[in-house]
Structure 1
Amino acid sequence: MIAEQNVSLAPHNTFGIVAKARTLVRVKGEADVTAVLADPKLGPEPKFVLGGGSNIVLTGDVNKAVVLKVEIMGKRVVSDDAKAAVVEAGAGENWHEFVTWTLEQGFGGVENLALIPGTVGASPVQNIGAYGVELQDVFDSLDAIDLQTGRVFTLDARQCAFGYRDSVFKHAAAKDNDFGLAGRALILRVRLKLPKPWKPVLGYLDIQRKMTETGIEHPTARQVYDWVVAIRSAKLPDPRVIGNAGSFFKNPTVTPEQCQDIIARDPGIVHYPMPDGTVKLAAGWLIDACGWKGKSVGKAGVYEKQALVLVNRGGATGGEVVTLARAIQTSVYERFGIRLEPEPVVV
């Protein structure tokens, strides 16, 4: 274990916000976590787990916690039979590169999740999803380490308590015997179960447009992957060029009655019926309808091509990003009566 002092976090958050970590430890494996916990100085301090930094907004230096930068690597095929392939990746692996690797092994199932920023370890925390697929649809299990006891444990999908952009890792335990794991665990490895035969998920409008444009009615997993990469590249800014955290707000869900009320006033609203009877509304459409696309607060702005994405126009502070987000929330609530919930964690 090597503890670094006064480390810049600007390269470690996709918003590119300038901040420092008083103490940062690069976690290459569970032994590094065990060493931190056993250290007489670092062990008692709070811990802040940092993956790819694609889902955080830093509002200042991290001085009150030890930053555990997850850099656990490795990919492997755990099993492969007629029913499914189980694949595993270290929590520090780049998510998109892992998706690409699964296709190179001949396994489909996560192609709709291509080009989502961040690391493999962050994927179950957020229950990432895109174009009709969520991580929980292909999740098998994960290994994590308890940041209080140093014990390694395994969770299946049920124990992860997945919800829409939600999991047990986003909730703190209200009581000692509760299972909330926010701030209490560091994910080490994630395993996915990719079913056979592979079935494409083609329900989203953007993908259907690609089918029409190409004339391909029965795409392969690689073709769906290529389409998703093209769609996301056209809509979303590359964090390496323009700082951002991807989709900033969750798509809200409403009752059918609420949706009809909004349609009566705004017939063009983009909405998707859900299996549970609710209706998901496109948060980007709501934000655009309130006139925010392309607008800025200080050096934080709303991306010109996709209103759901907030960007760093150069030198933005976390405070400016938060101020912009709150102004958008107020506008949407005043017009539609809907409260948008941010996806990133504000630190």
Structure 2
Amino acid sequence: MLTVQRGVSLRPYTTFGIEAQANYFADLISEADLETLRQLNELTDLPKLILGGGSNLLLTQNFSGLVLKLSLGGIEVVRDDERHIYVRAGGGVVWHDLVMYCVANNYAGLENLSLIPGTVGAAPMQNIGAYGVEIEQVFDHLEAVHIETGEKRRFEHADCQFGYRESVFKHALKGQYIIASVTFRLDKVPTFHTGYGAISETLAEMGITDETLTIRAISEAVIRIRRSKLPDPAEIGNAGSFFKNPEIDQAQFDQLKATYPALPGYPLTSGRVKVPAGWLIEQAGWKGYRSGDAGVHAKQALVLVNYGNATGQDILDLAQRVRASVLEKFGIEINPEVNVI
């Protein structure tokens, strides 16, 4: 039965661990809860915030409306064909749990996305990605419920308007739908993605060769890398990568490369070059910086951290200083990946 609470602290529900309160809060564990919610007329006109794992969210103030915690569960194979397995997961399923389910069953496609925090429902919203793979590459469709009308709609790939850490749910349809389930098209015969980051090096350290390479090995390599670089939110509040990796013109990259020979770059099919934001931030002198309880992580400059009692505004102020510094030094604008409320 749906219960609506008042004056709920959101600190336990976000990985940044920042104190902010929701005026109203409800935990949605079934689609029936959505219909019950629609019948509560006193809540109809309130602003609403949909909360998954809270791993990509920075709260800078209390939320005066209704926070909807998405807890819809379940993982199942819905069909297969000669090449693919189609796996559907509830929007509230923990993302890494889904990845481990697929790896255990040898369903290929999600292994490079191991250990990303958050829930399945947030994955297409953010078009999450890591180590050369993005959700849109394995996405089949999703089912979402309109918060106001209760209408259930199926979104195909084109409907989602995927971009780099972008989708229609962050813009034109922001806050309008709750993603109830996502279906992924996974491969029976894997295509290995080992050329991004330190995957190849880590696989070699693990004693994995081309002959012994599996999706489980790639998953384990990614987990090793992430644990070596990224802080555990249970120990230090953070939202993972705070900034997107910027894309710049080839001419600008060549010019910067002449001045900074160590500058990494990843050519894109568009003709532009993706540059690691973490490298830019580190070179601008921010790695390991701390002001009060807000800081830049000592091992990965892309991660902003809350050492205990930083406010959301403290983190946001630091982010703005980092952005200004990178722009001044390199002429490159880095933009937040994290959603700021």
Q: Is TM more than 0.5 here?
A: yes
1:301 aligns with 2:302: no
| Separation of aligned partners in 1, 2:260 and 2:198 | 22
Which residue does 1:20 correspond to in 2? 21
Q: 1:184 aligns with which of 176, 183, 195?
A: 176
| Separation of aligned partners in 2, 1:42 and 1:35 | 11
Normalised by the size of structure 2, how large is the TM-score? 0.97
1:8 aligns with 2:9: yes
Contact 2:112 2:218 in 1 (8 A): yes
Equivalent residues in 2 for 1:212-223, closer than 5 Å: 212-213=204-205, 214-218=207-211, 219-223=213-217
Equivalent residues in 2 for 1:1-347, closer than 5 Å: 1-63=2-64, 65-171=65-171, 180-213=172-205, 214-218=207-211, 219-347=213-341
| Separation of aligned partners in 2, 1:181 and 1:303 | 33
Unaligned runs of 5+ in 1: 172-179
* Aligned-partner residue type, residue 305 of structure 2: V
Which residue does 1:174 correspond to in 2? none
Flag the 1:35–1:263 CA change in 2: closer, same or farther, 3 A. Answer: same
RMSD, matched Cα: 1.0
| Separation of aligned partners in 2, 1:41 and 1:330 | 43
Q: Secondary structure at the match of 2:142?
A: strand
Normalised by the size of structure 1, how large is the TM-score? 0.95
Give 1:215 deviation, angstroms.
4.8
- 1:12-49 deviation line (CA, Å, top 9, x unaligned): 00000011111101111222122222211011212110
- 1:159-208 deviation line (CA, Å, top 9, x unaligned): 1010000000011xxxxxxxx21011110001100023211111114012
- 1:143-168 deviation line (CA, Å, top 9, x unaligned): 00111211010101111010000000
Give 1:103 deviation, angstroms.
1.3
Q: Secondary structure at the match of 1:88?
A: strand
- 1:268-294 deviation line (CA, Å, top 9, x unaligned): 111111122110000000000000001
Contact 1:37 1:44 in 2 (8 A): no
- The alignment covers a number of residue pairs equal to 338
| Separation of aligned partners in 2, 1:215 and 1:2 | 50
| Separation of aligned partners in 2, 1:287 and 1:13 | 24
- 1:254-307 deviation line (CA, Å, top 9, x unaligned): 111010011111111111111221100000000000000010232110000000
| Separation of aligned partners in 2, 1:313 and 1:196 | 43
| Separation of aligned partners in 2, 1:166 and 1:20 | 27
| Separation of aligned partners in 1, 2:176 and 2:61 | 22
Give 1:60 deviation, angstroms.
1.7
Q: Secondary structure at the match of 1:41?
A: helix
* Aligned-partner residue type, residue 90 of structure 2: G
Contact 1:57 1:344 in 2 (8 A): yes
| Separation of aligned partners in 2, 1:249 and 1:205 | 17
| Separation of aligned partners in 2, 1:196 and 1:335 | 47
* Aligned-partner residue type, residue 209 of structure 2: I
Contact 1:95 1:120 in 2 (8 A): yes
| Separation of aligned partners in 1, 2:337 and 2:208 | 36
Deviates more, 1:298-307 or 1:193-202: 193-202
| Separation of aligned partners in 2, 1:146 and 1:135 | 22
